[in-house]
Structure 1
């Protein structure tokens, strides 16, 4: 671990919902990097995320948001990129190599696409009571997991042998897919990938929610 966080700086404020995988991916990277942070729960049940003072920093009224000594950012994948550029000298997280950097971006797009509409959406139904097409979300998740499992059968991480922010971005909703009714049993390579991430120094888990019967 090699970070450039000033020893006398105020901890980064992370405005979050503890059950949100988007928030967890930011918390996970900060923990991996050893960055001091303060987690602040946003009272979303009472609409705190839609109040003008919150929307001023997150125009779509979404968590997470960070406040890094006055630098305020929303969007989890954007925050991951910022944290690496601001505080890490370890290029494994976001490679300089143009091909590897492009592949990281591909998987960040998957996180914002198939993961969001698949396992993340499926989990919203039982965990948050969202009115979504549960069967469609589970089908998207399984289609995605078939591709991911084949890919990870030949690679320790999503981009070769080293962990990157692509893995951090993808981890939370894949690991918690069973909470959305999507079993990981058919996907041994994905399970091995999750275990590798969880075994790393600094790993912090997202609390589990009730798994539907």
Structure 2
């Protein structure tokens, strides 16, 4: 397998993290996004949206980080990471949608301002970040993982941008249950860290 990634992308990190957690041999191919490599014809042939990550599994090309998580769990036959039953699968999908929605437009967007000079309104996206963090904190009351009794791809999808939220000036100190979840993910065998940037509250 080949994973086309960019080290500062949380979307790319979640795919790389899950490959490592599953101990699947793979080649990491860095896409020089600063130089516009993601907009070149050879990369656009893999993903017309011009985004990382992209997984190439011997010619089977999967774009989108959450789609990659689903693909890897299904291919590996790991129903512990992605339940086969309807209720469990739906519960995981709910958090994949949160990762693509509230997390992307909250903590991820806040980090885009400080790391990539994105033109978002800081107050607005930081407020969104705290809104989803508050919901996560409430959801995690009395539970260790987002879904069920063990880690799933829901936790992998949520991890990267929430863990690096302080880089976008989002303070995590008021969310003990969220922080406990992050530490549990980091304690999993095969965990690989997301590249840190000394910026925002993380400076």
For the aligned pair, the TM-score class normalised by the smaller chain equals over 0.9
In the alignment, the residues of structure 2 paired with residue 133 and residue 199 of structure 1 have an alpha-carbon distance, to the nearest angstrom, of 34
2:101 paired with 1:113: yes
Deviation >3 Å, runs of 4+: none
1:72 to 38, 49, 61: 61
Q: TM-score, normalised by structure 1?
A: 0.92
CA drift of 1:155 comes to: 1.2
* Residue 59 of structure 1: how far off its partner (Å): 1.3
**Pair 1:201 & 2:201 matched:** no
The residue number in structure 2 matching 1:8 is: none
CA shift, 1:211, in A, is 2.5
In 2: Cα distance, 1:90 partner to 1:156 partner: 20
Number of the residue aligned with 1:6: none
Q: 1:137 corresponds to which residue?
A: 125
Q: How many aligned positions are there?
A: 201
Partner of 1:30: 19
How is 1:82-161 mapped onto 2 (pairs within 5 angstroms)? 82-87=71-76, 89-161=77-149
TM-score normalised by the chain length of structure 2: 0.96
- C-alpha distance in 2, partners of 1:74/1:83? 12
Distance (whole Å) between structure 2 residues aligned to residue 45 and residue 200 of structure 1: 32
Mapping of residues 185-196 of structure 1, within 5 Å: 185-196=173-184
Distance 2:57 2:89 in 1: 25
Gaps of at least 5 residues in structure 1 are: 1-11
Compute the RMSD of aligned alpha carbons. Answer: 0.9
Q: Give the Cα separation in 2 of the matches to 1:56 and 1:154.
A: 46
